[in-house]
Structure 1
Amino acid sequence: MDSTTHGTDIGAVGLRAAPTRLSARLADGAHPDARRAYDLARETFVAGGRIDMGGLASSLGVDRTSVFRWVGNRDDLLAEVLWSLAVPTLGQADRATAHLGGAERVAALLTHFATDLIAADYFRDFLRREPARALRLLTTKASPIQRRYTATAEWLVRTHLGDAPFDGAIDPPTLAYLLVRVSESFTYADLIAGEDPSGEAARTAFRHLLRVA
């Protein structure tokens, strides 16, 4: 992902905020077995398949213990795969909104991101297949995903609204967390409230929260 905003790679912000043992292994290149298992898991996920540790082990010609040693448990692996797919989606949203500025830029970027997630078939397949696990990984601090997304949102707030948004009426971490919860509420509305996910509803909420006319 090659998108930058003010010289910073938007995809790197989240990883810096919540590094994991697996993300470090993948980044340093010193663990080819971890990379091999991760790449196969990612391919399986994008193809609409279920990531299964036993299946990975069989495909790689090793035992399950080896796979766990390389990449951690299934939640660890799923979290990294999910975030790896969020990064290029954030990058696309960043590029698509580059002509905007300020609060309008933040609202449009987050709307673009939520809309793309809603439209991703392999992602919706995962939500339908494992709803409880999906919510735990995507919407709680038990997983690095929400922490990374919140850090990214905070960086966007600070970049486009400054360190005292709306004349200091709210601080950047709190505003970022609210934006993430809005994003989650409309992206996973089917799992949370039995409603249809809606990028347009997310857009309206983002613009209202960010005081975009």
Structure 2
Amino acid sequence: MRHAARMLLEGRRLDTSTLAAELGIARATLFRRAGNRDAILGEALAHLGSRTLAAIEAEHDARPEGADPAGRLRSLAVSESFRWALSTAVPIRRLLDEEPTTGIRVLTDPRGRVQPRVVEAYTALFQHDVDRHGFVPQVPVPLLALAVVRLGESFLYSDVLASRAPDLKAATTVIDALVLSVLGGEGG
């Protein structure tokens, strides 16, 4: 998985024959141990996404008392930064440009390797704000996280999904309004 992630970061197409050869194993062994190309691609992208999100959270939390300059909830500030990071991530953009069907399938499949992990991470983000601010969410936090992830995907990948340019500012406006109404928060 780490080698596959490195390949993606280097701007190389993930080819299982090349990956197996570079690892010094047979392609059949790679398949038995790691799964098909979609599974390996999903694991690599999930790994890179997890690292990116962790770095964004650490940067946010390093501010005095984790303060957001705009006074927004931590979850909203972090998730917005994560969407912007994904929008310019070379491995994702290259995959969507060269293999849009595969890219959307790997990135958004609810049974895949990427989306469930993003939903889990967003659940933790929102739960942090719920606990910190004493919010009483109108829906379960995991359901809110799923809605935010799916909504974010529709904006982030709109060039592939709907032949529209991604509008991350609009995504932030809509997602902030949704989260604040569900959590009962006032500031955005």
Q: Alpha carbons of 1:68 and 1:84: their partners in 2 closer, same or farther (altered >3 Å)?
A: same
Instruction: Give 1:34-53 correspondences, 5 Å limit.
Output: 38-53=1-16
Q: 2:161 aligns with which of 189, 192, 196?
A: 192
Q: 1:205 aligns with which of 174, 178, 181?
A: 174
Q: CA deviation at 1:163?
A: 10
Match of 2:51 in 1: 88
Consecutive unaligned residues in structure 2, runs of 5 or more? 181-186
Secondary structure in 2 matching 1:144: coil
Match of 1:182 in 2: 151
Q: Alpha carbons of 1:82 and 1:173: their partners in 2 closer, same or farther (altered >3 Å)?
A: same
Q: Which has the higher contact order (CA 8 A, sep 6+)?
A: 1
Q: CA deviation at 1:194?
A: 1.2
Identical amino acids, percent of aligned pairs: 31
Secondary structure in 2 matching 1:78: helix
Give the ranges of 4+ consecutive aligned residues of structure 1 lying more than 4 Å apart after TM superposition.
163-166
- Amino acid across the alignment from 2:158: A
Q: CA deviation at 1:156?
A: 1.4
- Measured against aligned partners, the alpha-carbon deviations of 1:118-157 in whole angstroms (never above 9, x if no partner) come to 0122320111111111111111213031111111111111
- Distance in 2 (alpha carbons) for counterparts of 1:140 and 1:164: 32
Q: Alpha carbons of 1:159 and 1:39: their partners in 2 closer, same or farther (altered >3 Å)?
A: closer
Consecutive unaligned residues in structure 1, runs of 5 or more? 1-37
What count of residue pairs does the alignment treat as equivalent? 176
Report if the CA contact (8 A) 1:186-1:197 is conserved.
yes
Q: 1:75 aligns with which of 38, 43, 66?
A: 38
Q: CA deviation at 1:167?
A: 3.3
Instruction: Give 1:52-201 correspondences, 5 Å limit.
Output: 52-98=15-61, 99-100=66-67, 104-162=73-131, 167-201=136-170
Give the alignment's TM-score, normalised by structure 2. Answer: 0.83
Q: Alpha carbons of 1:89 and 1:100: their partners in 2 closer, same or farther (altered >3 Å)?
A: same
Q: CA deviation at 1:66?
A: 2.0
Give the alignment's TM-score, normalised by structure 1. Answer: 0.74
- Distance in 2 (alpha carbons) for counterparts of 1:149 and 1:59: 29
Q: Considering only aligned residues, what root-mean-square deviation do their CA atoms show, in Å?
A: 2.3
